[in-house]
Amino acid sequence: MKILNEFVPTRKFLKLAEEISPLVDGWNVTDSAAGFPAPSGTVVSCVLKSKYPEKEIVPIFILHYKGPVEVGGLALAADIMGVDGLAVTMGDVPKFGDPIKMLKSSEEARDFLRTNVKLKNLKLGCLLTARRSVEETIERAKGAWDFIYFMRLEDKTFPILEQVAKECKKMNKPIYAYFLVGTPKNVETVKLIGWPVAATMDTVVEKAAKLDGIVDGIIATCAGDAEGDKEMLMKLQKFRKK
Protein backbone atom coordinates (compact mmCIF):
# COMPACT_ATOMS: atom_id res chain seq x y z
CA MET A 1 0.00 0.00 0.00
CA LYS A 2 1.42 3.39 -0.97
CA ILE A 3 1.70 6.04 1.70
CA LEU A 4 1.17 9.52 0.29
CA ASN A 5 1.22 12.62 2.46
CA GLU A 6 -1.14 15.52 1.95
CA PHE A 7 1.25 18.40 1.31
CA VAL A 8 0.23 22.00 2.03
CA PRO A 9 2.71 24.29 0.22
CA THR A 10 4.31 27.17 2.14
CA ARG A 11 7.36 29.32 1.43
CA LYS A 12 9.41 26.55 3.07
CA PHE A 13 7.93 23.68 1.06
CA LEU A 14 11.30 22.37 -0.19
CA LYS A 15 12.65 22.09 3.36
CA LEU A 16 9.52 20.32 4.57
CA ALA A 17 9.59 17.91 1.62
CA GLU A 18 13.22 17.05 2.35
CA GLU A 19 12.39 16.25 5.98
CA ILE A 20 9.61 13.79 5.20
CA SER A 21 10.69 12.41 1.81
CA PRO A 22 12.19 9.20 3.31
CA LEU A 23 8.83 8.44 4.96
CA VAL A 24 6.51 8.73 1.95
CA ASP A 25 5.90 7.25 -1.48
CA GLY A 26 4.73 10.62 -2.69
CA TRP A 27 2.59 13.68 -2.09
CA ASN A 28 -0.91 14.92 -2.79
CA VAL A 29 -0.36 18.69 -3.03
CA THR A 30 -3.17 21.04 -2.03
CA ASP A 31 -4.30 23.92 -4.26
CA SER A 32 -4.89 27.11 -2.23
CA ALA A 33 -6.98 25.16 0.29
CA ALA A 34 -10.13 26.86 1.59
CA GLY A 35 -9.77 29.50 -1.13
CA PHE A 36 -6.82 31.37 0.40
CA PRO A 37 -3.85 32.09 -1.93
CA ALA A 38 -0.94 29.68 -1.47
CA PRO A 39 1.93 28.54 -3.70
CA SER A 40 0.33 26.90 -6.73
CA GLY A 41 -0.25 23.18 -6.16
CA THR A 42 0.62 22.39 -9.78
CA VAL A 43 3.77 24.52 -9.83
CA VAL A 44 4.95 23.04 -6.50
CA SER A 45 4.23 19.56 -7.87
CA CYS A 46 6.39 20.26 -10.93
CA VAL A 47 9.26 21.33 -8.66
CA LEU A 48 8.85 18.30 -6.42
CA LYS A 49 8.74 15.93 -9.40
CA SER A 50 11.96 17.43 -10.73
CA LYS A 51 13.66 16.96 -7.35
CA TYR A 52 12.06 13.60 -6.45
CA PRO A 53 11.34 11.83 -9.76
CA GLU A 54 10.80 8.50 -8.00
CA LYS A 55 7.90 9.86 -5.91
CA GLU A 56 4.24 9.79 -6.94
CA ILE A 57 3.10 13.41 -7.04
CA VAL A 58 -0.48 14.51 -7.70
CA PRO A 59 -1.80 18.01 -7.03
CA ILE A 60 -5.38 18.90 -6.34
CA PHE A 61 -6.58 20.94 -9.32
CA ILE A 62 -9.36 23.36 -8.35
CA LEU A 63 -11.42 24.69 -11.25
CA HIS A 64 -13.12 27.50 -9.31
CA TYR A 65 -9.82 29.40 -9.44
CA LYS A 66 -9.00 28.88 -13.12
CA GLY A 67 -10.23 29.75 -16.60
CA PRO A 68 -9.79 27.31 -19.49
CA VAL A 69 -6.49 28.78 -20.73
CA GLU A 70 -4.89 28.50 -17.28
CA VAL A 71 -6.37 25.01 -16.83
CA GLY A 72 -4.72 23.97 -20.09
CA GLY A 73 -1.44 25.75 -19.42
CA LEU A 74 -0.93 24.33 -15.94
CA ALA A 75 -1.91 20.84 -17.07
CA LEU A 76 0.55 20.98 -19.98
CA ALA A 77 3.34 22.05 -17.62
CA ALA A 78 2.53 19.13 -15.32
CA ASP A 79 2.44 16.77 -18.32
CA ILE A 80 5.85 17.96 -19.56
CA MET A 81 7.43 17.72 -16.10
CA GLY A 82 6.21 14.15 -15.54
CA VAL A 83 3.79 14.90 -12.72
CA ASP A 84 1.81 11.71 -12.15
CA GLY A 85 -1.69 13.14 -12.29
CA LEU A 86 -4.17 15.88 -11.45
CA ALA A 87 -7.06 15.34 -9.03
CA VAL A 88 -9.67 17.51 -10.74
CA THR A 89 -12.45 19.15 -8.71
CA MET A 90 -14.59 22.28 -8.74
CA GLY A 91 -13.28 22.74 -5.20
CA ASP A 92 -13.52 25.53 -2.68
CA VAL A 93 -14.94 28.96 -3.38
CA PRO A 94 -12.16 31.59 -3.53
CA LYS A 95 -11.89 34.04 -0.63
CA PHE A 96 -11.09 36.82 -3.10
CA GLY A 97 -13.18 37.38 -6.23
CA ASP A 98 -15.88 35.14 -7.64
CA PRO A 99 -15.73 31.44 -8.54
CA ILE A 100 -14.79 30.80 -12.16
CA LYS A 101 -17.31 28.47 -13.77
CA MET A 102 -16.28 28.54 -17.42
CA LEU A 103 -15.66 24.80 -17.15
CA LYS A 104 -18.82 23.73 -15.39
CA SER A 105 -17.81 20.34 -14.01
CA SER A 106 -14.79 18.14 -13.40
CA GLU A 107 -15.95 15.94 -16.26
CA GLU A 108 -16.10 18.89 -18.66
CA ALA A 109 -12.58 19.92 -17.64
CA ARG A 110 -11.31 16.36 -18.06
CA ASP A 111 -12.71 16.13 -21.57
CA PHE A 112 -11.38 19.61 -22.45
CA LEU A 113 -7.88 18.61 -21.33
CA ARG A 114 -7.92 15.41 -23.32
CA THR A 115 -9.64 16.68 -26.48
CA ASN A 116 -8.59 20.32 -26.81
CA VAL A 117 -5.33 20.52 -24.87
CA LYS A 118 -4.28 17.02 -25.96
CA LEU A 119 -2.39 15.83 -22.89
CA LYS A 120 0.02 12.97 -23.57
CA ASN A 121 0.84 11.17 -20.33
CA LEU A 122 -0.79 13.07 -17.47
CA LYS A 123 -3.43 11.04 -15.65
CA LEU A 124 -6.68 12.66 -14.51
CA GLY A 125 -8.54 11.62 -11.39
CA CYS A 126 -11.66 12.65 -9.51
CA LEU A 127 -12.60 13.10 -5.87
CA LEU A 128 -15.43 10.96 -4.51
CA THR A 129 -17.20 11.75 -1.27
CA ALA A 130 -18.80 9.38 1.22
CA ARG A 131 -21.71 11.84 1.52
CA ARG A 132 -23.27 10.48 -1.67
CA SER A 133 -24.94 7.08 -2.07
CA VAL A 134 -22.90 4.03 -2.96
CA GLU A 135 -24.70 3.82 -6.30
CA GLU A 136 -23.93 7.45 -7.22
CA THR A 137 -20.32 7.10 -6.11
CA ILE A 138 -19.72 3.94 -8.11
CA GLU A 139 -21.43 5.43 -11.17
CA ARG A 140 -19.07 8.42 -11.07
CA ALA A 141 -16.05 6.15 -10.60
CA LYS A 142 -17.07 4.37 -13.80
CA GLY A 143 -16.50 7.59 -15.75
CA ALA A 144 -13.41 8.13 -17.89
CA TRP A 145 -11.12 8.76 -14.92
CA ASP A 146 -7.65 7.25 -14.53
CA PHE A 147 -7.71 7.13 -10.72
CA ILE A 148 -9.99 7.84 -7.76
CA TYR A 149 -9.52 9.71 -4.46
CA PHE A 150 -12.06 8.89 -1.72
CA MET A 151 -12.85 11.56 0.89
CA ARG A 152 -14.42 11.63 4.36
CA LEU A 153 -13.34 8.20 5.51
CA GLU A 154 -14.45 7.15 8.99
CA ASP A 155 -15.70 3.91 10.54
CA LYS A 156 -19.27 4.34 9.30
CA THR A 157 -18.18 5.10 5.71
CA PHE A 158 -15.68 2.24 5.51
CA PRO A 159 -18.28 -0.14 3.97
CA ILE A 160 -18.89 2.43 1.20
CA LEU A 161 -15.17 2.60 0.49
CA GLU A 162 -15.00 -1.22 0.38
CA GLN A 163 -17.72 -1.38 -2.28
CA VAL A 164 -16.26 1.43 -4.36
CA ALA A 165 -12.76 -0.07 -4.13
CA LYS A 166 -14.10 -3.44 -5.27
CA GLU A 167 -15.55 -1.82 -8.40
CA CYS A 168 -12.35 0.13 -9.02
CA LYS A 169 -10.35 -3.10 -8.94
CA LYS A 170 -12.65 -4.56 -11.60
CA MET A 171 -11.94 -1.51 -13.77
CA ASN A 172 -8.22 -1.58 -12.97
CA LYS A 173 -8.41 1.97 -11.56
CA PRO A 174 -6.18 2.87 -8.60
CA ILE A 175 -8.10 4.18 -5.60
CA TYR A 176 -6.64 6.15 -2.71
CA ALA A 177 -8.38 7.09 0.53
CA TYR A 178 -7.79 10.26 2.49
CA PHE A 179 -6.66 9.27 5.98
CA LEU A 180 -7.20 12.23 8.33
CA VAL A 181 -5.65 11.66 11.74
CA GLY A 182 -6.89 13.67 14.70
CA THR A 183 -4.37 14.99 17.23
CA PRO A 184 -4.63 17.39 20.19
CA LYS A 185 -2.92 20.07 18.07
CA ASN A 186 -5.22 19.94 15.05
CA VAL A 187 -8.65 19.98 16.72
CA GLU A 188 -9.49 23.48 15.45
CA THR A 189 -8.14 22.79 11.96
CA VAL A 190 -10.22 19.62 11.67
CA LYS A 191 -13.31 21.61 12.72
CA LEU A 192 -12.52 24.18 10.03
CA ILE A 193 -12.13 21.46 7.37
CA GLY A 194 -15.39 19.86 8.45
CA TRP A 195 -14.26 16.30 7.78
CA PRO A 196 -14.49 13.36 10.20
CA VAL A 197 -11.21 11.84 11.35
CA ALA A 198 -10.30 8.37 10.09
CA ALA A 199 -8.08 7.66 13.12
CA THR A 200 -6.36 9.11 16.14
CA MET A 201 -2.63 8.75 16.71
CA ASP A 202 -3.32 5.78 18.99
CA THR A 203 -5.38 3.98 16.32
CA VAL A 204 -3.33 4.82 13.19
CA VAL A 205 -1.91 1.30 12.76
CA GLU A 206 -5.20 -0.46 13.55
CA LYS A 207 -7.23 1.65 11.10
CA ALA A 208 -4.58 1.55 8.35
CA ALA A 209 -4.41 -2.24 8.62
CA LYS A 210 -8.09 -2.43 7.63
CA LEU A 211 -7.32 -0.49 4.44
CA ASP A 212 -4.27 -2.55 3.44
CA GLY A 213 -5.25 -4.72 0.48
CA ILE A 214 -8.46 -2.77 -0.15
CA VAL A 215 -7.04 0.49 -1.52
CA ASP A 216 -3.90 1.13 -3.55
CA GLY A 217 -2.78 3.80 -1.15
CA ILE A 218 -3.76 6.32 1.49
CA ILE A 219 -3.28 10.08 1.63
CA ALA A 220 -2.29 10.50 5.24
CA THR A 221 -2.43 13.82 7.06
CA CYS A 222 -2.55 15.34 10.50
CA ALA A 223 -3.97 18.54 8.98
CA GLY A 224 -1.72 21.30 10.20
CA ASP A 225 0.17 19.33 12.86
CA ALA A 226 3.62 18.98 11.28
CA GLU A 227 5.14 17.00 14.15
CA GLY A 228 2.07 14.81 14.21
CA ASP A 229 2.58 14.12 10.50
CA LYS A 230 6.08 12.78 11.17
CA GLU A 231 4.89 10.57 14.05
CA MET A 232 1.98 9.27 11.96
CA LEU A 233 4.20 8.54 8.95
CA MET A 234 6.67 6.63 11.13
CA LYS A 235 3.80 4.44 12.34
CA LEU A 236 2.70 3.80 8.74
CA GLN A 237 6.08 2.57 7.45
CA LYS A 238 5.14 -1.08 7.97
CA PHE A 239 2.46 -0.79 5.27
CA ARG A 240 4.74 0.50 2.51
CA LYS A 241 5.73 -1.89 -0.25
CA LYS A 242 9.40 -2.80 -0.04
Task: Read off φ and ψ for residue 165, nearest 5 degrees.
Answer: -65, -35
pLDDT of residue 180: 98
Alpha carbons 216 and 194: distance in angstroms, whole number: 25
pLDDT of residue 1: 97
pLDDT of residue 86: 98
Task: Read off φ and ψ for residue 83, nearest 5 degrees.
Answer: -55, 140
Q: Between β-strands 2-7 and 217-221, what pairing exists: parallel, antiparallel or unpaired?
A: parallel
Q: State the amino acid at position 143 in one-letter form.
A: G
pLDDT of residue 9: 95
What pLDDT, in 10s, does the model give residues 76-131? 999 999 999 999 999 999 999 999 999 999 999 999 999 999 999 999 999 999 88
Its CATH class, for the domain covering 2-239, is alpha beta
180 neighbors 153 (Cβ within 8 angstroms): yes
pLDDT of residue 242: 61
As a whole number of angstroms, the longest Cα–Cα distance in the chain is: 48
Which residues, 6 or more positions from 212, have their beta carbon under 8 angstroms from its beta carbon? 1, 239
Alpha carbons 137 and 132: distance in angstroms, whole number: 6
Each residue's pLDDT tens digit in the chain (242 positions)?
999 999 999 999 999 999 999 999 999 999 999 999 999 999 999 999 999 999 999 999 999 999 999 999 999 999 999 999 999 999 999 999 999 999 999 999 999 999 999 999 999 999 999 888 999 999 999 999 999 999 999 999 999 999 999 999 999 999 999 999 999 999 999 998 899 999 999 999 999 999 999 999 999 999 989 999 999 999 999 999 86
Q: Quick one: which H or E segment has residue 159?
A: helix 158-170
pLDDT of residue 224: 87
pLDDT of residue 110: 98
179 neighbors 205 (Cβ within 8 angstroms): no
pTM over 0.75: yes
